[in-house]
Amino acid sequence: MQKIGLISAVLAVLLLSACGSVREASGKSQHGSHEAASSPAGASEHGGHGGETPKPASTNMKASFAFGSTGLKAKEKSELTILITDDTGKPVTDYQVNHEKLLHLIIVNHNLSSFQHIHPAYQGNGKFTVSASFDAGGDYKLIADFIPTGGSSTTLSQWVKVAGKEAEHTVLKADAKLRQEVSGKAVELSLSSTKPKEDVTLTFTIRDAQTNKEITNLQPYLGAVGHVVILSADAEQYIHVHPLAEKATGPVAKFATSFPEAGIYKLWGQFQHNGEVFTVPFVVEVK
């Protein structure tokens, strides 16, 4: 009986020790997650807005785009205020730096003949401001692209009407040849696939338009070899693109993406050379 009692006591001690170990491991795991949430990537670049601990982003955010009281007129500057709120109406106050900026604003007109990529300044409390202008009248789409701290890449958009003479209404057609000359650069584009829902590599090859020599000293633009924006013909599909070699300097710049469905798409590649940012557009058909 004494032996049985001794064995029971030993087993009890071992069980208590094991329970203590499980609690300790669980506590460390929870503490680790809490630390990761309170110091997310990019927080150091824009921390200090109220000193609050960042919270997971809402899954149903909204953006309001408000211009000055004078209304929108072609060829006139207007002050734009963008307010990002969560599903309860509270401002989203913390953002992750994405390609060196907290928010990228894309502005296109109805037929995608006009393209702007600008960066509003963060004023705190979910508010961004920027001066914007439109080269013609008509309908324009504003697309805010950002990453809320603790969340994922998010785009919110709105169509606005600009007073003034409208640009010609043309039908977007795929380029017969994927070669463009812009700012003294000859740029060729190739796609690894033009089928929907497949991984696609976009390859830009950049040369001097006069000498045809390859340009090998591209400078970083927004922290990478370049930046690419893709929109469907109706501007309803905004497609994310990622550089495959951020530190590349040319003549080749590669990006990864995927087209969600068949149709016509316009893309804009943006690169920097000798301190000048140049934008090269292409129109492709996915089928």
Answer yes or no: is pLDDT of 135 > 50.
yes
CA–CA distances in Å: residue 50 to residues 42, 78, 94, 127: 16, 29, 10, 14
Residues 186, 93 share a domain: no
Residues 226, 276 share a domain: yes
Q: Is residue 28 part of a domain?
A: no
pLDDT band at 12 (very low <50, low <70, confident <90, very high): very low
pLDDT at position 59, please?
63
Domain range for 152 is 62-162
281 and 183 in a common domain: yes
Distance between CA 248 and CA 202 in Å, rounded?
14
Give the rounded percent of residues in the chain with a pLDDT score beyond 90.
Answer: 76
Same domain, 245 and 193: yes
Residue 113: which pLDDT band, with cuts at 50, 70 and 90?
very high
pLDDT higher for 39 or 275? Answer: 275
Looking at the structure, tell me whether residues 146 and 183 fall in a common domain: no
Answer yes or no: is 183 within a domain. yes
pLDDT surpassing 80 at residue 8: no
Last residue of a domain, one of 162, 193, 214: 162
Q: What percent of the chain has pLDDT over 70?
A: 79
Residue 127 belongs to a domain? yes
Residue 39 confidence (pLDDT) above 60 = no
Q: Per mean pLDDT, which range of 6-20, 73-87, 271-285 is the poorest?
A: 6-20
Residue 69: predicted pLDDT:
76
* Rounded Cα–Cα distance for residues 241 and 251 (Å): 19
Q: Would you say residue 2 lies in a domain? A: no
* CATH code assigned at 237: 2.60.40.1930
Average pLDDT over residues 114-126: 98
The whole-chain average pLDDT of the chain stands at 84
What pLDDT score does 196 carry? Answer: 98
pLDDT at residue 246 greater than cutoff 50: yes
Measured CA to CA, the distance from residue 172 to residue 113 in angstroms comes to: 9
Look at residues 97, 130, 162 and tell me which one is the last residue of a structural domain. 162
Evaluate whether residue 48 is within a structural domain: no
What is the model's pLDDT at position 200? 98
What's the domain count of the chain?
2
pLDDT above 60 (res 147): yes
Same structural domain, 183 and 157: no
Burial of residue 159, with CB atoms counted within 10 A of its CB: 0-12 exposed, 13-18 middle, 19 or more buried: exposed
Amino acid at 225: V
